[in-house]
């Protein structure tokens, strides 16, 4: 009894090589893109301590989406102005594939009477800085700060997105 072994052609080896290379690229952004994401995260951290300001999108005061908008524009990236629009337009990212510079989106609980009528959407966004932490402008009376992506924030997590790759 004779067993026949077929050899793969150069064409088949090329396809296998291409799939292996592309599969590796899909799981991790290229170094240049990672540098942009890290730059966004570092830039956002500069604004720790800046007061929250509803509608604010400058170092005089930020709301959550204003911080994202301002920092991304400083890196030549156009993002929408509101957290809800940022969520809708961002490239979706799995939360186990987060890199510095990615955006974390939250749907917060409705606490005030006007929220019962849908007058406020309760979207919130922050910039992931690595090590399970993110920087954001939390709310009125508070300042831009770093929080851990756990507990309350994990409970109300909607998803992650990216603009830098």
The predicted structure's pLDDT at residue 28: 83
Does domain 35-162 fall under CATH 3.40.50.300? My reply is: no
pLDDT confidence band for 145 (50 / 70 / 90): very high
**Whether residue 64 lies in the annotated active site:** yes
Helix (H, G, I), strand (E, B) or coil at 8: coil
Mean pLDDT value across the chain: 85
- pLDDT above 80 (res 160): yes
Domain ranges of the chain: 35-162
Q: Which phi and psi (to 5°) does residue 125 adopt?
A: -140, 145
**Whole-angstrom Cα distance, residue 153 to residue 16?**
42
Q: Which phi and psi (to 5°) does residue 52 adopt?
A: -70, 140
The predicted structure's pLDDT at residue 3: 52
- pLDDT above 90 (res 18): no
Q: Residues 7, 19, 64, 75: which is the catalytic one? A: 64
Q: How confident is the model over 67-123, as pLDDT tens digits? A: 999 999 999 999 999 999 999 999 999 999 999 999 999 998 766 554 555 555 679
The predicted structure's pLDDT at residue 19: 44
Q: What are the distances in angstroms from CA 152 to CA 56, 130, 147?
A: 24, 18, 10
Residue 137 burial by Cβ neighbours in a 10 Å radius (0-12, 13-18, 19+) = buried
Summarize the confidence of residues 15-43 as an average pLDDT. Answer: 74
Summarize the confidence of residues 31-47 as an average pLDDT. Answer: 97
Q: Residues 19, 25, 72, 124: which is the catalytic one? A: 124
- pLDDT above 60 (res 5): no
Q: Residues 7, 19, 43, 136: which is the catalytic one? A: 136
């Amino acid at each position: 009894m004779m067993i026949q072994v077929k050899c793969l052609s150069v064409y088949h080896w090329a396809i296998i090589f291409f799939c292996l290379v592309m599969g590796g690229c899909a799981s991790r952004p290229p170094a240049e893109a990672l540098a942009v994401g890290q730059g966004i995260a570092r830039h956002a951290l500069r604004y720790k301590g800046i007061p929250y300001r509803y509608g604010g999108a400058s170092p005089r005061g930020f709301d959550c989406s204003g911080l994202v908008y301002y920092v991304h524009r400083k890196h030549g990236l156009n993002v929408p102005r509101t957290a809800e629009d940022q969520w809708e337009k961002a490239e979706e990212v799995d939360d186990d594939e987060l890199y510095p510079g990615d955006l974390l989106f939250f749907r917060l609980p409705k606490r005030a009477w006007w929220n019962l009528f849908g007058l406020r959407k309760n979207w919130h966004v922050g910039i992931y800085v690595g090590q399970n932490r993110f920087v954001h402008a939390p709310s009125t009376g508070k300042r831009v700060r770093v929080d851990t992506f756990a507990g309350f924030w994990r409970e109300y997590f909607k998803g992650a997105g990216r603009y830098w790759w």
